Structure 1
Amino acid sequence: MANTVWGSTNKPISAKRLAELLDSAVQVDGTIYIGYPILGTPDGAFPFDALLLSPTYGVIAFDIVEGRDAGDYQSRQDDIYAKLQSKLLQYPSLVKKRKLIPQINVVSYAPVVQDFSEDDEYPLLNDNNLIQFLTNLSEGDKEIFPKVAAAIQALTNIRKGRRKRVQLTPNSRGAKLQALNDSIANLDANQNAAVVETVEGVQRIRGLAGSGKTIVLALKVAYLHAQNPDWKIAVTFNTRSLKGQFERLVNTFVIEQTSEEPDWDNIHILHSWGSSSSEGIYYNFCKDHGLIYRDFRSARDNFGDGKEFNGACAEALKEVTRPKQNYDAILVDEAQDLPASFLRMCYSVLKPPHRLVYAYDELQSLTDTSMAGPEELFGIGKDKRPLVVFSPPTSGQARQDIILERCYRNSRPVLATAHALGFGIYREPGGLIQIFEQNDLWLDVGYRVKEGVLEDGSYVSLERTSDTSPRFLEEHSPIDDIIEFRAFETKAEQDAWLVDAIEYNIKHDELVADDIIVINPDPLKTRKNVGDARAELFQRDINSSLAGVSTSPDVFFESDVVTFTGIFRAKGNEAGMVYIINAHDCFDSRYPSYLTTLRNRLFTAITRSKAWVRVLGVGPEMEKLKEEFDRIKQHQFRLDFQYPSEERKKELRIVNRDLTQAQRGRVTRKVDELASIISSLEAGEVRIEDLPLNLRKKLKALLG
């Protein structure tokens, strides 16, 4: 049976009938696209009525007839064939001796036309003979099928990277990285649905970091723009450096689908906040409605630490009773990092039916639970009913809630290491640092129970599945090469090793400079900590940049440039080779509540890698972090541990409670004061007897 992906169609009745027919036919495999693809032609965008991509039967394009008159279906079939052939001939891997390797079949499907024709050249078919026609086709070349799918999905060019890669050695890192990109050049079924299926209202796309949401959103923008060139479409996000990435992706995909540059008057790629120097959704909302615009400092002064953007958006919404509805569609990336008031602002500036697509990472931060449901996010309307409610999936309709289940960035060893370190599964001494509030969230993020039970107080062994962490992501290199921890005695030794390794990557491994990012987990020390390594790279004729400092805040990668970055600008980006420096900063903290922040930074840094990661640090704490990683390896990248009891969870909940920067500072000062008092008691500078009796009693009661 074929999986159906629902795009926009002006032939809904016959299209639904075709989808149901193919879905019920057990002998037909693959994906049937309705209203997709859209191909660029000299005459502009050309949308297909339907297309079946089948590993068994190849490519079958459908001319759908809605009604009893088939008209000049022969000419329409010729036109469809010519356009599809012209598209596929552009890809050398699909051509041999000037001939197209995959076979293209074009049929007209007319469910209510009785006078059908099984002419081999121009088949006109209905429900009675379509399946028989398909099963009589000669089987296609299954080895070429993934390349055909990638070409039709418009992914082939983008997966080549930011520039053409020239390999000299078949087994070099550069060749492996290219092969890895080629392996993920096809959208899976859920990604396909997320691109093409568009609801008349709000749609949610969610999944693990690395599941392809950014590319899916860019493809969706191109699809919507090709279908509706007059629509005003906005794309918005939290991480400023995503702007350049979105511009590149959208430009590439629109050209693929329309053979024309995007109309940038109708596609706006905007940061969520914005400013007078760089437009954003919130900034434009304030400007359009004559409101006070608050920058970060003003918002913090008025709404408090950690509540800046939520407060600013909520304030602006409260001031406007009838917002100007400037957009036909808005797509939001990184919604997990944006407040509910911002999503409501996006909803308010949309014309009915409020086409809002918001995508978010499930559990990007290890302490997060899932985002609130749509009823809570968007609130209640004037009729006292929720503005947004998701309906259950219905046959023949686009889905409102799409889950991307597979992680295509991180291999099993990399992601399991990131989780084990982030949670402190094998930390000695001390054990767990944090844990999911809901035990079943482990299953949601791609683990399965190998042994034991996933219950409070019980032993459990968790491992990643091949479905959620595809094995090809780790088969390109030995595991000891995929992820490596190194401890150095001095920072100078660390920097020297880093520079030598990067030089070797570029001169011998056939990686290009922009395949490499270097992450310093402590954002306050990044500029200082990376200076020496960057200077030495410059002496070796290797260019580097410090993201957001030596480059525009809207740009993360530059061609032929190694990117150095702090942890915050690294979010949302990925690279083939990731170096994490000064990782010892993330091993421990005298303040338990701050340790979760440090381990979350390490988790985020490790999960930027789509091929190899090197975790570097200095001194005894790095040695201990390396030993913790060695225990992960000894357990074969499984998570084997005693699940915390409810009492222990309560303790972790208190330690990891949500504190503002000011509150965290007060806790830190009080801990330091208490440590000073204890030191004085131990040194005999102050005696227990010097303390008032009532204070001694309180201390005894508190400490048990």
Structure 2
Amino acid sequence: MINTVWGSTDKPVSSTRLAELLSEEPDLEGTLYIGYPIIGTPEGSFPIDALLVSPTKGLVLFSVVEGRTLPDYAEAQDEGFNKMQAKLLQHQTLIRKRKLLVGIHTVTFAPAIAKLDADEEYLLCNADNLVSAIEELEDFDPAVFPSLVSVIQAISTLRRGRKKRDLRDQNSRGTKIKTLEDSIANLDSQQSAAVVETYEGVQRIRGLAGCGKTIVLALKVAYLHARHPDWFIAVTFNTRSLKKQFENLITTFVLEQANEEPDWDKIRILNAWGAPGGSNRTGIYYEFCRDHGVEYLDFGTAKNRFGSDKAFEEACDIALQGAKQFVPKYDAVLVDEAQDFAPNFLLLCYEYLKDPKRLVYAYDELQNLGNRSLPPVEEIFGKNTDGTARVVIHPPEPGKPKQDIILDTCYRNSRPVLSTAHALGFGVYRAEGLVQIFENKNLWFDIGYQEDNGEIEDGEIVTLTRTPKSSPEFLEKHSPVEDLIQFEVFDTPEAQTAWLVAEIKRNLTEDELIPDDIVVINPDPLKTKDAVGEARRTLMQMGINSNLAGVTTIADVFTEPGTVTFTGIFRAKGNEAAMVYVINAQDCFGALSPRHVARVRNRLFTAITRSKAWVRVLGVGKSMSALKAEFEKVKTENFALHFRYPTENERKTMTTVNRDMSKAEQDRSAKRRNNFADIIASLDSGDSFIEDYPASLVKKLLAHAKKPKRRQK
């Protein structure tokens, strides 16, 4: 089966026909990229019209002809072949001695030309002979396929330049984390699509912590910059420590795709708020105020006027209301961590865009450290003068880029770690009951859970488990489950600190971890500096260097090579480490105000999900004991979520998560479920027969029926 990824193309009609023909052929396998990749050459960027990456055929490069005029197709095929071969020859994994292990096939596809002269050396195809020509191509060694995919996705260079580890024990933590990093080096098909799919309008990317949203956005910036070097592109975020990470990732990817440094006059990596004082301090909101001649409020001023929770929201509202006429500036704006922004910041970004308004925002509601969820797009972006919504999220359509992308596979957290984070974040095993719940029940499936027993229905008992796809098994097989995640209760803060320091020393002296592998997170950002002081002093006396992110480092840098990183929860977001220590977790058990319980629980969720391998959750006193009791319950359930699903009235008393599904999307979702139920009821009653339905639908139903059944309790 062929999966098509729609990038930016100036040959839409012929490209659509190419995708249709290949997707209709069931025996073909692989991914068809439209408008990707862009190959870096000494002369600059060289875009490929279309590329088929197949485990059976290797690479098939398409020169796509739009219209009835046939260019010098032999020259075009030679140029594409030579540039792709030069790219692949740079990667030792694709070479044996002096031979390239990948077959590079070139095809010119001209669907509007009815009669084509046959040429044995240069394949020239239209709709009549395309599939047969590809089927006759020489087969490819599938063992080389993963390395080929890594190179094509421009991921391979990420693994170069990492600090080398001095590994002597094949069972050490250092060896295990290196193996894990090698295993997740490639993007999966969902991530690859999210990078390339270029929607001419608002596009949203939803995904769990650890699904690769930040890397996807960085790759997307690089792709758009290489494909459209004249575009003015901005990427923005809430966590300042992400700035250096974005800069490094974008530089790596642009070098890979365009063979040159990014043009930083065309790419802007901006903080959301910003302030006067030069390029290192500027931000989207500050520049919007400056360009529109409206009042700029710094955080202190906005906080005094509106309170800290509403400071940025009200500042953005004043800016939007004060602008007499919007001044379009950017060709594309990409927003990371959108869940942490007031909706009107997204509107501000939208108004700052030229037409078509290419706004891409990525988010995970459970990492929301505030008190609100994103509303539907109709509410965020408002209505036209005729009452219609300015932005509508459309369902996937064949032959068109996806507007709504969900990344449901978590490549950072193992199943036990992620399920624990969700159990504690939602309060599944909390004595007082659930803290928060998804407003849309189907989102449980979107983020990778399945109904293991019971159903997600009001008032019903349900057991939810992670699917093998959403939580790959290799992420947890490297260590016993008791080692993957531990909760430790202490009588005093001093005892907690002593245990923490001893474990960090052991990680560095016995486990073959390096300081960069270790992050210590304190959930309460206001107390972090004092809370970590004694541990840092003790480590220093042992000769172990550490940094306090954003305090002993510059604000845009999270960690420094050769140091253990201590951080508050806000700076931890978007970052990750092999070994994560969450200290003072008792602060995340509850809150004085019921409406703040979800907020502190989300801090714990975010802290736990920073881990690529191992988590240690530490705390003091009775609240920590109660938190550990919740963990023991999820552990007893083999990291399943077993609970009574709340009724509509009960949900009204909870914090609701992911409220951004529009009425149209809700109607489509309900219709899909109802249509399936109608088919089953009709078959059961004898009103219809299996022969009455299209063969393609019957085939899909049978395929689903043959899938392994979920375990029943």
The interval holding the TM-score normalised by the smaller chain is 0.7 to 0.9
Equivalents in 2 of 1:203, 1:642: separation in Å? Answer: 34
Retained in 1: the 8 A contact 2:39–2:45? yes
When residues 369 and 104 of structure 1 are mapped into structure 2, their CA distance, relative to the original with a 3 A threshold, is farther
> Which one-letter code corresponds to 1:302 in the other structure?
R
Q: Which moved more, 1:613-622 or 1:41-50?
A: 613-622
**Correspondence 1:285-364 to 2 at 5 A:** 285-364=288-367
Residue in 2 aligned with 1:457? 459
Amino acid at match of 2:572: A
Cα distance between partner residues in 2 of 1:436 and 1:57: 43
Determine which of 605, 608, 611 is the counterpart of 1:609: 611
Query: 1:520 maps to which residue?
Result: 522
Q: Would the alpha carbon gap of residues 6 and 596 (structure 1) be closer, same or farther in structure 2, given more than 3 Å must change? A: closer
Alignment of 1:11-26 (within 5 A): 11-26=11-26
Q: Tell me if the contact between 1:461 and 1:640 (Cα under 8 Å) persists in the aligned partners.
A: yes
* Contact 1:117/1:125, CA 8 A, preserved across alignment: no
**CA gap 1:425/1:217 in 2 versus in 1, 3 angstroms:** same
| Paired residue type of 2:374 | M
Q: 1:257 corresponds to which letter in structure 2?
A: Q
Tell me the distance in 2 between the aligned counterparts of 1:631 and 1:153. 41
1:415 alignment partner AA: L
Residues 155-202 of structure 1, C-alpha deviations (whole Å, 9 max, x = no match) = 122255754555444443233223222322222333222211212222
Show the counterpart of 1:371: 374
Matches within 5 A, 1:574-653: 574-588=576-590, 592-646=594-648, 648-652=650-654
72-81 vs 163-172, which moves further: 163-172
CA distance 1:523–1:370, shift in 2 (3 Å):
closer
Match in the other structure for 1:250: 250
Residue 472 of structure 1 is matched in structure 2 by 474
Deviation at 1:33, TM superposition (A): 0.5
Match of 1:82 in 2: 82
- For the residues of structure 2 that align with 1:531 and 1:333, how far apart are their CA atoms? 31
2:541 corresponding residue in structure 1: 539
1:42 — aligned with what?
Answer: 42
Deviation string for 1:93-113 (max 9, x for gaps)?
222212222222222223244
1:267 Cα deviation from its structure 2 partner = 0.6
Letter in 2 for 1:494: Q
CA change 1:176–1:106 in 2 (3 A) is farther
CA distance in 2, matches of 1:280, 1:158: 27
Name the aligned partner's letter for residue 458 of structure 1: E
**Deviation by residue 1:505-533 (Cα, 9 ceiling, x = unmatched):** 23333322222110011222211111111
Pick closer, same or farther for the CA change 1:94–1:500 going to 2, 3 Å: farther
Q: Does residue 409 in structure 1 map to residue 418 in structure 2?
A: no
Which of 501, 504, 507 is the equivalent residue of 1:502?
A: 504
Partner SS, residue 321 of structure 2: helix
Q: What TM-score results when the alignment is normalised by the length of structure 2?
A: 0.87
Amino acid aligned to 2:414: S
Conservation of the 8 A alpha-carbon contact between 2:276 and 2:286:
yes
Shift in alpha-carbon separation, 1:340–1:584, aligned structure 2, 3 A: closer
Q: Which runs of 5+ in 2 are unaligned?
A: 657-713
CA distance in 2, matches of 1:38, 1:515: 34
Amino acid at match of 2:465: E
Question: How far, CA to CA, are the matches of 1:164 and 1:258 in structure 2?
Answer: 27
Where does residue 552 of structure 2 map in the other structure? 550
Letter in 1 for 2:391: V
State whether residues 393 and 403 of structure 2, in contact with CA within 8 Å, keep that contact through their aligned partners in structure 1.
yes
Q: Tell me, in whole angstroms, the C-alpha distance in 2 between the residues paired with 1:588 and 1:395.
A: 47
Shift of 1:206: 1.7
Structure 1 letter corresponding to 2:185: A
Q: Does 1:151 align with 2:160?
A: no
Determine what percentage of the aligned residue pairs are the same residue. 58
Pairwise CA distance, 1:424: 2.7
Is residue 334–residue 360 contact of structure 1 (8 Å, CA) maintained in 2? yes
Corresponding residue SS for 1:306: helix
* Alpha-carbon displacement from aligned partner over 1:610-634 (angstroms, at most 9, x marks no partner): 2111112234443443333222211
1:407-445 deviations in Å (ceiling 9; x for gaps): 222211111111112233223x43434434444443333
Match of 1:672 in 2: none
- 1:77-128 per-residue CA deviation (whole Å, 9 max, x = no partner) reads 2221221121122222222212222222222223244554665542222323
**1:640 maps to amino acid:** H
Q: 1:286 to 1:648 in 2, by over 3 A?
A: closer
Question: Which residue matches 1:680?
Answer: none
| Equivalent position of 1:109 in the other structure | 109
CA distance in 2, matches of 1:447, 1:311: 37
2:369 and 2:599 in contact (8 A); partners too: no
Secondary structure of the residue aligned to 1:435 is strand
State the distance in 2 between where 1:69 and 1:648 align. 65
Distance in 1 (alpha carbons) for counterparts of 2:369 and 2:249: 29
In the alignment, the residues of structure 1 paired with residue 462 and residue 296 of structure 2 have an alpha-carbon distance, to the nearest angstrom, of: 51
Q: CA deviation at 1:287?
A: 1.6
| Equivalent-residue separation in structure 2 for 1:561 and 1:67 (angstroms) | 59
User: Structure 2 CA distance, aligned partners of 1:588 and 1:373?
Assistant: 29
1:433-464 Cα shifts (integer Å, max 9, x gaps)? 44344444433332111112322332211111
Q: CA RMSD in A?
A: 2.4
Paired letter, 2:500:
L
| Partner residue, 1:385 | 388
Judged with a 3 Å threshold, the aligned counterparts in structure 2 of structure 1 residues 167 and 91 are, in CA distance, closer, same or farther, namely farther
Which residue identity is paired with 1:24? E
Cα distance change on mapping 1:383 and 1:649 into 2, 3 Å: closer
TM-score by length of 1: 0.88
Read off the aligned partner of 1:208 and give its amino acid letter: L
For the residues of structure 1 that align with 2:121 and 2:164, how far apart are their CA atoms?
Answer: 40
Cα distance, 1:312 vs structure 2: 0.7
CA distance in 1, matches of 2:548, 2:283: 24
Corresponding residue for residue 175 of structure 1: 175
How many pairs were matched up? 653
Kindly provide the amino acid, as one letter, of the partner of residue 264 in structure 2: W
Tell me which structure has the larger Cα radius of gyration.
Answer: 1
1:251 Cα offset (Å): 0.9
Distance 1:106 1:179, change over 3 A: farther
Residue number in structure 1 paired with 2:700: none
> What amino acid maps onto 1:537 in structure 2?
L
Q: How far, CA to CA, are the matches of 1:264 and 1:650 in structure 2?
A: 48
Question: Shift in Å at residue 28 of structure 1?
Answer: 0.7
Q: Where does residue 98 of structure 2 map in the other structure?
A: 98
